[in-house]
């Protein structure tokens, strides 16, 4: 079963635009365990860990879509996230909600036909993982995409909510070039479908670091097809990158200081909102602009509103933080 076809956003853009709360997972790398029987963990429903040395771990040589996470196989799963998103279910024996969450994730992941993989991790057996993912409570679900963590939710969740989250996760994965799937023959190495010419031009410009050129290509695509949602999101993303590419760390600190001193200075509030989105502090960014809109009127208010809508596109319409910010925006506008 194939996954949605798309071209990858270059790595720097991917980290900036689609991944939040990134943490360094390199400290958890362990040498691969020698070949032999797969290690068994204590996940509530007892899945097998992935086989070593590239062997398929599922029945009859098929893929293992649910595995116990151990120190020995963790790095395998992180590397697999360059091909398909890997969903980590962080659970603990003392948590009564853990079994329910893992069972729900197991059913939902299986229904995607190899486009997702589930790793169940007992944080009592592997406490370093909880520290790396900055887990505050269990059970917690975190996806890893191209080696970068994407927080999903804490506690038990209804199956439909999980499906909605996974649908959005796969959209983010496709936008970052993660379009593989696992099948009975193992990892699929599929070429993305060709992009429309203007989208290809935008992608080529991004690859060259020409964000202004990419923005122009996306604008032209929107002129030709105003309903092109991918072009709209792409335009918001590359415009953000274009604004930020010349901002140094020293400039960032000065901008934050000025924004704190002048809360009604439009340019500084817009600048810090950009920095916060890029740094993964999405709620701070959106709340900052909503608050500015609530305090100000006239052209500056409209400018801030338009920028806020652009940042909604960057973060993604399905993100719960965007939904909350939309509600807050409606309250201050009406």
The overall pTM is greater than 0.85? no
Residue 31 lies in a domain: yes
Structural domain range at position 25: 11-187
Q: Can you give the CATH number for the domain in which 278 is found?
A: 1.25.40
Q: Which of 152, 187, 222 is the last residue of a domain?
A: 187
Task: Report yes or no on 53 lying in a domain.
Answer: yes
Domain of 21: which CATH number? 3.40.30.10
* Domain limit, last residue, from 187, 207, 242: 187
Residue 6 domain-assigned (yes or no): no
Residues 207-225, mean pLDDT to the nearest whole number: 91
User: In terms of domains, do 178 and 215 share one?
Assistant: no
Q: Are residues 87 and 122 in the same domain?
A: yes
* Matching residue, tokens 């009127």: 297
Report yes or no on 1 lying in a domain: no
Q: Does 170 lie in the same domain as 47? A: yes
Pair (249, 316) in one structural domain: yes
Count: domains in the chain: 2
Contact between 290 and 329 (Cβ < 8 Å): yes
Asked if residue 180 and residue 267 are part of one domain, the reply reads no
pLDDT of residue 25: 52
What is d(CA 194, CA 205) in angstroms, rounded to the nearest whole number?
A: 16
With a cut of 50, say whether residue 107 has pLDDT above it. Answer: yes
pLDDT digits (tens, 9 = 90+) for 235-269: 998 899 889 888 887 888 899 999 999 999 999 99
């Amino acid at each position: 079963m194939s996954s949605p076809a798309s071209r990858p956003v270059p790595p720097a853009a991917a980290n900036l635009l689609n991944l939040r709360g990134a943490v360094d997972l390199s400290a958890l790398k362990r040498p691969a365990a020698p070949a032999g029987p797969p290690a068994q963990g204590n996940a509530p429903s007892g899945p097998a860990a992935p086989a070593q040395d590239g062997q398929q771990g599922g029945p009859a040589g098929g893929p293992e879509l649910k595995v116990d996470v151990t120190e020995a196989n963790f790095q395998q799963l992180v590397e697999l996230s360059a091909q398909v998103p890997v969903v980590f279910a962080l659970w603990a024996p003392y948590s009564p909600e853990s079994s329910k969450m893992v069972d729900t994730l197991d059913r939902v992941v299986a229904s995607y036909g190899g486009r997702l993989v589930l790793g169940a991790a007992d944080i009592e057996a592997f406490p370093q993982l909880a520290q790396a993912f900055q887990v505050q409570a269990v059970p917690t679900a975190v996806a890893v995409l191209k080696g970068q963590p994407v927080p999903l939710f804490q506690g038990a969740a209804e199956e439909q909510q999980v499906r909605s989250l996974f649908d959005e996760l796969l959209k983010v994965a496709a936008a970052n070039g993660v379009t593989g799937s696992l099948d009975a023959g193992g990892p699929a190495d599929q070429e993305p479908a060709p992009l429309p010419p203007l989208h290809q031009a935008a992608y080529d410009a991004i690859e060259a670091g020409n964000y202004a050129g990419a923005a122009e290509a996306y604008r032209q695509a929107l002129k030709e097809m105003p309903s092109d949602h991918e072009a709209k999101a792409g335009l918001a993303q590359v415009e953000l990158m274009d604004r930020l590419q010349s901002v140094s760390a020293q400039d960032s600190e000065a901008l934050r200081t000025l924004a704190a001193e002048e809360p009604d200075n439009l340019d500084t509030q817009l600048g810090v909102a950009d920095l916060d989105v890029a740094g993964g502090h999405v709620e701070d960014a959106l709340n900052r602009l909503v608050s500015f809109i609530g305090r100000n009127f006239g052209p500056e208010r409209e400018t801030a509103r338009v920028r806020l809508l652009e940042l909604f596109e960057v973060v993604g319409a399905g993100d719960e933080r965007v939904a909350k910010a939309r509600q807050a925006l409606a309250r201050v506008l009406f």
